[in-house]
Chain A
Amino acid sequence: MIDLQGYGPRLLQGAWVTIELGLLSLLLSIILGLLTATAKMSRSWIAHRLGTLYTTLIRGVPDLVLMMLLFFGGQIGVNMITDWLYYQFDIDIFININEFVAGVVTIGLIFGAYMGETFRGAFLAVDSGQIEAARAYGMSESLMFRRIRFPQMMRHALPGLSNNWMVLLKTTALVSVIGLTDMVRVAEEATKATHEPFTFLIPVAVIYLLIASVSEWGFARLQKRYNVGFGES
């Protein structure tokens, strides 16, 4: 067995931070993605433009730069707002941005743009006859979304969704750069302290591969579920 020199528990804690961060930002990005897809498909000119602006800007800039902008700039921006509130209305509040929350928000915001594109394509791929049939049954918009649009959209969205998740998972490694103690950060600190890079970095790489493999299996099962009634495609 490899000797982790007492870094084992911290490494596991770091792995848990990675998983939590990944899942929470995945959730946020799915919500943002659904909103973006709706905005981009809406008839409103402003919503369409806003959605396009969001996806274009986010996808044109490196993750790390966005992360630093939101992370370092976020606190200053929040301070500016609270200062302004104080001088204008005498409301004294202080908000300290938590690193973990900043990480979730940043990654969620970045991948919301990618999810938006995935969902938009998937919604457009749903047969319009299905929507017409639902209308003919007198379904309300929300019922139609829940029973018809969403389940059939997921079938088309799942490959893209799974792809986005894999990229998102790997992007979580970047939070170590802005000061969050995920497993990459722990491994780097351990490497610097013990001068044994492989002992710590390779297990971390293996954990990433493991998470990726498990999610691949999970997505394959989901795909099977959402493909019910569509043969073996």
Chain B
Amino acid sequence: MEQLNAWFTRLLADNEIFTAQTIGYYAHGLANTAQLVLLSLLIGLMLAVPLAIGRSSPRPWLKWPIFLYTYVFRGTPLLIQLYIIYYGVVFVEGIQDTWLWLILEKPFYPALIAFTLNTAAYTTEIFRGAIKATPRGEIEAARAYGMSRAKMLRRIVLPSAFRRALPAYGNEVIFMLHASAIASVVTIMDLTGAARFVYARFYAPFDAFLFVAAIYLCLTFGILYLFRYLEKRLLAHLKPQT
């Protein structure tokens, strides 16, 4: 044990790459990635719920524009969406003179907008599927109780749809975490950005990228277990009875 300890100290002492400074870069990157992912997921979720309700409405003027939005955002690469927003906002007439420019100047916000719109599109489709899969009997029962449409949505359709959407939404969260690596392309110092910096500085691709891959792997497993736990709690009534 002592030998192992001594070996480990020697290993870190000889290490030119993983110093306190570079570890600091990675920590900073982790904070940026977490912020970007959590914020875009949160705002995306808030957008997706009304959009999914609209998307499953029978009115064509409500249904088709939302379909077009999800089709475009799910059918094109996130990188293109990011470029369009990142390069695009600069060229909006007169934006540099307004207060909005103070926010949009930093690459963080265009990236946040692109990620939010992207995840909202995917989440809308996930929820639409879940809403559509509501058993007919539940809706008939709600009608028989004389519930209004709003009340039926709030009390019957949405709660059970959220539960049905949980496994697919877990995948979306992991997808978003992985997609956030793209933020490094527009000079954001996220986890991947930190790895690219360390790579460029030391010309050590294996150290830089394997380390960051391990961090992503841990985050992915964390999310996976969180959603497994949630599914176990919230979907317990759907388990086969023994």
- Among B80, B181, B213, contact of A201 (Cβ-Cβ < 8 Å): B80
Interface status of A191 (Cβ within 8 A of chain B): yes
Q: Is A60 an interface residue (CB 8 A)?
A: yes
Kindly state whether residue B229 has any CB partner on chain A within 8 Å: no
B residues in contact with A213, CB < 8 Å:
75
Tell me, yes or no, whether A220 is within 8 Å of chain B by CB. no
Chain A residue with Cβ nearest B185 = A177
Cα distance A68–B193 in the bound complex, in angstroms:
11
Nearest-neighbour CB distance to chain A for B73, whole angstroms, equals 10
Known A62-B181, A174-B182, A195-B91: A68·B199 in contact at CB below 8 Å: yes
Is A205's beta carbon under 8 Å from chain B?
Answer: yes
Known contacts A62-B177, A64-B182, A170-B78, then 4 further A-B pairs from the complex at CB < 8 Å, ordered by chain A residue? A59-B220, A177-B79, A201-B84, A213-B75
Determine which of A65, A172, A176, A188 lies in contact with B181 in the assembled complex, contact meaning CB atoms within 8 Å: A65
The docked-state distance in angstroms from the alpha carbon of A64 to that of B184 is: 10
Interface size on A, residues (CB 8 A): 39
Closest beta carbon of chain A to B182's beta carbon, Å? 6
Whether the Cβ atoms of A197 and B88 lie closer than 8 Å is yes
Distance (whole angstroms) from the CB of A105 to the closest CB of chain B:
16
Q: What residues make up the interface of A, taking CB atoms closer than 8 Å to B?
A: 57, 59-66, 68-69, 72-73, 76-77, 166, 170-174, 176-177, 184, 187-188, 191, 195-198, 201-202, 204-205, 208-209, 212-213
In chain B, positions 72-117 with a C-beta closer than 8 Å to chain A are 72, 75-81, 83-84, 87-88, 90-91
Tell me the dominant secondary structure on chain B's binding face.
helix
Pairwise interchain contact B79-A57, C-beta atoms closer than 8 A: no
Q: State whether B192 touches A65 (Cβ < 8 A).
A: yes
Cα separation A69 to B211 with both chains bound (whole Å): 10
Can you name 9 A-B residue pairings with CB atoms under 8 Å? A60-B216, A62-B178, A65-B209, A69-B205, A73-B205, A173-B79, A177-B79, A197-B88, A204-B80
Contact assessment for A197 and B84 in the assembled complex, using a CB-CB cutoff below 8 Å: yes
Q: Which residues of chain A are near B177, meaning CB under 8 Å?
A: 62
Number of B positions contacting A (CB below 8 A): 37
Q: Is B212 an interface residue (CB 8 A)?
A: yes
Measured CB to CB, the nearest residue on chain B to A170 is B77
Instruction: Tell me whether B84 and A63 are in contact (CB under 8 A).
Output: no
> For B87, B195, B220, which residue has the most chain A Cβ atoms within 10 angstroms?
B87
- Tell me whether B206 and A69 are in contact (CB under 8 A): yes
Of chain B, the residue at the smallest CB distance from A205 is: B76
In the complex, what residue of chain A is closest to B207 when comparing beta carbons? A73
Contact with A along B176-205 (1 / 0, CB 8 A): 011111101100000010011001000001
Q: Once the chains bind, are B192 and A176 in contact (CB under 8 Å)?
A: no
Are B77 and A68 touching (Cβ within 8 A)? no
